Amino acid sequence: MASSQIRLKILPSVRCLFDKLVQVKVEGLAPHKPVQLRSKLVDDRGVVFKASALYKADETGQVDVSCAPSLGGSYTGVEPMGLFWAMAPDTPHNKFTKKNVLSPTLVELEAVNGETGVILASETNEREYMTEGMKRIPLEEGKIRGVLFIPPGKGPFPGIVDLYTFGGGLSEPRASLLASKGFVVLALAYLRYQDLPKSPKNLDLEYFEEGVIYLRSRPEVKGPGIGIISISHSGALALSMSSFLSGISATVCINACNANTAIPLHYKDLVIPPLSPVIENVKITDSGLVHVRDALPDPSLEENRASLMPIERATCQFLFAVAEDDHNWNSAFFANQAAATLRNHGKETFQLVSYPKAGHFLEVPPMPYCPSGFHAAIGSDVLFGGEPKAHSDAQLDLWERVQEFFKSHLDNSSIC
Identify the H or E element spanning 144. strand 144-150
Alpha-carbon distance of 332 to 372, in angstroms, equals 19
Reduced to 3 states (helix: H, G, I; strand: E, B; else coil), residue 84 is helix
- Domain assignment of residue 1, yes or no: no
Catalytic residues: 232, 326, 360
Q: Is 166 in the same domain as 277? A: yes
Instruction: Look at residues 65, 225, 116, 108 and name the one whose alpha carbon lies nearest to residue 161.
Output: 225
- pLDDT, residue 412, reads 63
- pTM of this prediction? 0.96
The residue out of 128, 155, 182 marking a domain boundary is 128
C-beta atoms surrounding 115 within 10 Å: 11
Q: Is 308 in the same domain as 277? A: yes
Alpha-carbon distance of 39 to 211, in angstroms, equals 39
Region of 183 (left: φ > 0; alpha: ψ -120 to 50; beta: rest) is: beta
Q: How confident is the model at residue 35 (pLDDT cuts 50, 70, 90)?
A: very high
Q: Is 71 in the same domain as 147? A: no
Q: Is 108 in the same domain as 228? A: no
- Domain assignment of residue 356, yes or no: yes
Q: Is 109 in the same domain as 54? A: yes
- Domain assignment of residue 154, yes or no: yes
Average pLDDT over residues 59-64: 98
Residue 415 has pLDDT above 60, yes or no: no
Q: Is 173 in the same domain as 310? A: yes
Task: Say which CATH number the domain at 83 has.
Answer: 2.60.40.2240
- Domain assignment of residue 230, yes or no: yes
Residue 82 has pLDDT above 60, yes or no: yes
pLDDT digits over 334-365, tens only? 999 999 999 999 999 999 999 999 999 999 99
- pLDDT, residue 379, reads 82
Alpha-carbon distance of 330 to 259, in angstroms, equals 12
The residue out of 81, 108, 128 marking a domain boundary is 128
Q: Is 226 in the same domain as 180? A: yes
Residue type, 41: L
Q: Is 221 in the same domain as 82? A: no
319: which residues sit within 8 A by CB, 6+ positions away? 250, 251, 252, 253, 350, 351, 353, 401, 402, 405
Q: Is 168 in the same domain as 92? A: no
- Domain assignment of residue 57, yes or no: yes
How many structural domains does the chain have?
A: 2
Q: Is 218 in the same domain as 90? A: no
Q: Dihedral of the CA atoms 277, 272, 259, 309 (nearest 10)?
A: 170
Task: Say which CATH number the domain at 216 has.
Answer: 3.40.50.1820
pLDDT digits over 372-408, tens only? 988 888 888 899 999 999 999 999 999 999 999 999 9
Q: Is 109 in the same domain as 46? A: yes
Name 291's bridge partners: 283
- pLDDT, residue 4, reads 61
Alpha-carbon distance of 287 to 381, in angstroms, equals 11
What is the domain range of residue 106?
A: 7-128
pLDDT digits over 103-151, tens only? 999 999 999 998 999 999 999 999 999 999 999 999 988 999 999 999 9
